[in-house]
Structure 1
């Protein structure tokens, strides 16, 4: 497979998801960028704006296994990863896989679970495997976690641990739909369930091959230096007490490669890095108390860093 196949499949997936999610082209494309970059997506917004619907539509569009985890305060880590139980019929212990054993895992309202349960996803998301009772079980690629989250200031939620947030390649928010999109939603979604008519447009074997295509997209040394400069500047910004990690730079590069490939290009441009810097970096930054009081968040810091960092020049 080549870049033309990647571009075609990406457009097919955009068209499929947008049958359900109208007027959110940028958000849909970001979700697909994360899919082809081999990352995980955090969708953060108030209830009722289509976070779970986006995750479901993406899962329905890929002909692979799909599991949904409804995160609640009483959810246990074993419910997520699986557990070893004694089988009376076989007279031995056997492993029963948890909900993460799927190609697409929908984590609904992830910040309603306790930090201990949230942390059960750390190994899964970073290494694509689960270790239970000393035995490691590999998760079949592609493995994509699409987690939804309500703002932490709302009742009944727990802030995601920093280590957990750092494992999400990108964060996005749905926002309220436009008036025209909301009218369309009332006309269509009010009569039928829009997901019922959604059919897969790509299988997991194809997605797996396209991940290799993305990996081969060229990244010039000047672009590498630019990414490192952006990441390091977040650590030096006066409004930040914890800047972007080295993992953030790796995720930004992988996402930029996926964006370039989805547009049919065999090389990454500075535009790719700039377009993805906010979604990839902002949610990892911890602002200082003064910045919070002043209403300056991670997006504000990333925007300033982009303005203050010189564009890359060819070596």
Structure 2
């Protein structure tokens, strides 16, 4: 088990570093997403979830649909969140990068300084959390460490986003790792794997759903009269039963029209769960940094360094 966590972590870390260099003015988001996902497969690992690329006030859960025309602008605050899986054991990691290019065309220097500070705050939150994580610690203590570190920048964590425990073939395994002291007295145990992901913002610290659904997860088998919808559900059951999948993967397989009709019907019947992009409540900037760690008696091993 530990060997697989370490191997998936190495793969995810390497791809994260290479992909972050693509975040520059004029690059299509879909090109970055497809690069990350193809590199995970080329490495011999599986994709643990669709590559998330969330810009500025979008905190999470955006991945490109088919034919996405969204481009990075120089100075954008870009969150790259990716996951690799070896033998079902997952590495989940994220970084925030300021898109390279002629920043002066889009942002003032004061705005860029703010972007850099927000990014530093989420990184400081992650460092504090990793220093706190060990067997026997309450998860609320990790959240308190995150909140304290981010508050030193006079910024807020995102209070309604959390990290999560990981198990084989299970991205969200039931334990939440908060970004503030939520008084959860659940105690971590040696050998547990968790993804710690502080988000920092110059806003109030809350996210709401945005329009659109680009990421889904399988929920249950349901009967459908339309044969195309039945075929899509069967495909999801056979290929994406355990971890989230991209709507783009479905439209690539079945065509945009048929794929999107099926996804809408499946979501409406709660055969699949649709994830909406998450936007900071008032449109303020959000950064994220994330590592996967395995809990040890006196600390933790970070697999995604």
Q: TM-score, normalised by structure 1?
A: 0.27
Q: TM-score, normalised by structure 2?
A: 0.27
More helix by share: 1
Instruction: Name which one, 1 or 2, has greater alpha-carbon Rg.
Output: 1
More strand by share: 2
